[in-house]
């Protein structure tokens, strides 16, 4: 690893720690030439997955977009950042475990819906209202009524 201070290419690792947020390893290093210390991060390089949107456009999978959507749905709800990040990590793992180079945005949306349903009912309905693109209030009520029927059926 090249030293950021003197450019020397040899360093020794002083400390290594796994980071929870990014599935990476944090390494504290010391340059063998100048003795200064610096930090590096190693992450797993994955094959890029493309998301096929409903209009046919393709874009690189970005878990931050999922996180932002979930955070918006969870606004002013008693849901910790830890729970949100765990849900995002779970969805990201499901997407990569599909083993496909391309995944439909609908599949990702269903993963988010599934995760939010078990996390918080209000966040689930909020996300669904945007994701399902309800045309009017009656469509919204139909969705909520169907959801209640599923809940009541599960409790019996």
Question: What is the structure's pLDDT at 150?
Answer: 82
| Three-state secondary-structure class, residue 1 | coil
User: What's the rounded Cα separation, in Å, for the pair 140 and 128?
Assistant: 9
Helix, strand, coil shares of the chain, percent, nearest 5, are: 45, 20, 30
User: What's the rounded Cα separation, in Å, for the pair 50 and 47?
Assistant: 10
- Name the maximum alpha-carbon separation found in the chain: 71
Question: What is the structure's pLDDT at 154?
Answer: 61
User: What's the rounded Cα separation, in Å, for the pair 148 and 129?
Assistant: 15
Q: What is the pLDDT of residues 79-118, one digit of tens each?
A: 999 999 999 999 999 999 998 999 999 999 999 999 999 9
Average pLDDT, the chain: 90
Which residues 6+ apart lie within 8 Å of 29 measured at CB? 1, 11, 12, 13, 14, 37, 38, 39, 40
Find the mean pLDDT for residues 40-58. 89
User: In the chain, where are the structural domains located?
Assistant: 11-43, 50-155
Question: What is the structure's pLDDT at 21?
Answer: 63
Question: What is the structure's pLDDT at 129?
Answer: 85
Which H or E run includes 78?
none
**Size of the chain, expressed as the number of residues it contains:** 156
Query: Where do we find the tokens 């999922």?
Result: 66
């Amino acid at each position: 690893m090249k030293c950021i201070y003197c450019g020397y290419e040899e360093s020794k690792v002083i400390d290594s720690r796994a980071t929870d947020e990014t599935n990476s390893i944090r390494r504290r290093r010391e340059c063998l030439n100048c003795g200064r210390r610096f930090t590096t991060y190693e992450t797993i390089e994955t094959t890029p997955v493309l998301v096929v949107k409903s209009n046919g456009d393709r874009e690189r999978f970005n878990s931050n977009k999922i996180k932002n959507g979930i955070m918006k749905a969870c606004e002013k709800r008693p849901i910790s950042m830890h729970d949100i990040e765990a849900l995002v990590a779970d969805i990201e793992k499901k997407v990569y475990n599909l083993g496909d180079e391309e995944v439909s945005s609908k599949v990702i949306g269903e993963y988010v819906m599934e995760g939010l349903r078990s996390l918080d009912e209000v966040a689930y309905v909020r996300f669904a209202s945007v994701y399902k693109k309800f045309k009017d209030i009656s469509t919204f009520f139909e969705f909520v009524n169907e959801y209640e029927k599923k809940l009541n059926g599960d409790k019996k």
